[in-house]
Amino acid sequence: MNHFQIFGLRTNLIKPGDTLLDHIFTALQNQNLFFKEHDILILAESAVATAQGRVTPLSGIIPSDHARKIAKQYDIDPALAEIVISESDVIVGGIPGFLLSIKSGHLLPNAGVDGSNAPEGYVTLLPSDPDALARNLRMTILEKTGFHIAVLIVDSRTHPMRYGSGGVAIACSGIPAVIDERGKHDLFGRELKVTRRAIADNLASAAELIMGESNEQIPAALIRGFDIEFGDYEGIELISPDECLFIGSLKKAYVNPP
Give the span between the Cα atoms of 21 and 141, in whole angstroms. Answer: 8
Closest CA to 27 of 50, 5, 16, 43: 43
Distances (CA, A) of 164 to 74, 168, 174, 224: 20, 13, 29, 26
Give the span between the Cα atoms of 228 and 72, in whole angstroms. Answer: 47
CB of 179 to a copy of itself, least distance (A): 8
Distance of CA 250 to the CA centre of its chain: 25
Residue 201 found at the interface with a copy of itself (CB under 8 A):
yes
Site for a copy of itself in 107-146 (CB under 8 A): 107, 109, 115-120
**Start-to-end C-alpha separation, the chain:** 49
Site for a copy of itself in 84-103 (CB under 8 A): 91-95, 97-98, 100, 102
Judged by CB under 8 A, the residue of 64, 136, 145, 217 near a copy of itself is 217
Give the span between the Cα atoms of 183 and 196, in whole angstroms. Answer: 11
Q: Phi and psi at residue 238, in whole multiples of 5°?
A: -115, 165
Give the span between the Cα atoms of 196 and 60, in whole angstroms. Answer: 46
Site for a copy of itself in 153-172 (CB under 8 A): 157-168
How is residue 112 annotated by DSSP? G
CB of 222 to a copy of itself, least distance (A): 9
Judged by CB under 8 A, the residue of 75, 89, 129, 213 near a copy of itself is 213
Judged by CB under 8 A, the residue of 32, 59, 143, 255 near a copy of itself is 255
Q: Which one, 98 or 136, has the nearer CB to a copy of itself?
A: 98
Contact pattern for a copy of itself over residues 45 through 74, marking x by CB under 8 A: ------------------------------
Residue 35 found at the interface with a copy of itself (CB under 8 A):
no
Q: Which one, 142 or 178, has the nearer CB to a copy of itself?
A: 178
Residue 187 found at the interface with a copy of itself (CB under 8 A):
yes
